[in-house]
Each structure stands twice: as C-alpha cells, then as structure tokens.
Amino acid sequence: MTLRELHPGESGTILGFEPSAAVNRLMEMGMVPGSQVQVVRVAPFGDPIDLRVRDYHLSIRKSEAALIHISRHEG
C-alpha cells in the first residue's frame, strides 16, 4: 500500500518508491526505506498532508504520498 492510504494518526514503515523527480528530495528529507512515518493530519482543504518523520513535521501533497510504498503499523 502507499502512504496516501494512511489515515491521520496511523503510521507505517517506508518500503520503497515509485520513480519520480520528487523522490530524491523526499529521501534527502529523511524518508528513506526503513524509516518510520506517521500521518499527523490532512490540510483543511484536503491536501497536502502533515507527516511526522524522524521527529519533525514534513508536509507533502497526496500525489507525492502516492509514490511512497509502506507497510502499515497495526494497532
């Protein structure tokens, strides 16, 4: 599944990426395969989303979230 499918409050582990120009930027910001990511909230008009990555907040659009494969943490 992709990060886009996570609901606010849910978290997961990054597995890999769809190829895109945005990917290297995302990785530089700390979203590398294996790192944990939590969806904190969705912006008031439905896009972008607010993530917690490596202890800080990162905002990306849903279209970018759809490039990120994750496995969801249960519970």
Partner 1 sequence: MRVALCGNPNVGKTTLFNQLTGLRQRVANFPGVTVERKAGTLAGAPHVEVIDLPGTYSLTPRSVDERIAYEVLVGRLEEGPDVVVCVLDAGNLERNLYVVSQVIDLGLPVILALNMMDVAEENGLVVDASVLEKDLGVPVVPITASRGEGIDELKKHILDPPEPAQVYRWQLMDAVDAKIPALIKQLAEEAPHVKPMHLRMEVLRALAEDEALDVWRLEVPEFVNRIVTLREEFAKRGIAWRHAEVSGRYAWIGPIAQRASRRFKGPATLSDRIDAVLTHRVAGPLCFLLILVCVFEAVFSWAIPAMDLIEAGVAALAGGVRLVLPAGWITDLLTDGIITGVGNVVVFLPQILLLFFFLGIMEDSGYMTRSAFIMDRLMKRVGLSGGSVLPLLSSYACAIPGIMAARTLDSERDRLITIMVAPLMSCSARLPVYTLFIAAFIPAGKLMGVFGYQGLAMFSMYMMGTIMAFVAAAILKRVVFKGPPSYFVMELPPYRRPRLRQLFWRMYQRSRVFAVRAGKIILGCSIVLWFLASFPRTETSPEAIQIEEQAIQERNIEYAAAQALTPDRDLTVAADSLSLVDPILAYALDLTAQADVKYAAALDSANIVRQSAQIRGSAIGYLGRILEPVMQPLGFDWKISAGLVSAFAAREVIISTLGIIYSVGDAEGGVALRDALKADQYPDGRPVVTPLVAMSLLVFFVFALQCMSTLAIARRETNTWRWPMVMWFYMTTLAYLASLLVYQGGRLLGFS
Whole-angstrom distance, CA of residue 29 vs CA of residue 26 = 5
Q: Please, are residues 67 and 10 in contact by the beta-carbon 8 Å criterion?
A: no
Residue 66 in the binding site for partner 1 (CB under 8 A): no
- Applying CB under 8 A, which of residues 15, 47, 71, 73 lies at the interface with partner 1? 47
* HSE-CB for 75 with a 13 A CA cutoff: 0
Residue 74 in the binding site for partner 1 (CB under 8 A): no
Nearer to partner 1 by C-beta: 28 or 74? 28
Nearer to partner 1 by C-beta: 33 or 71? 33
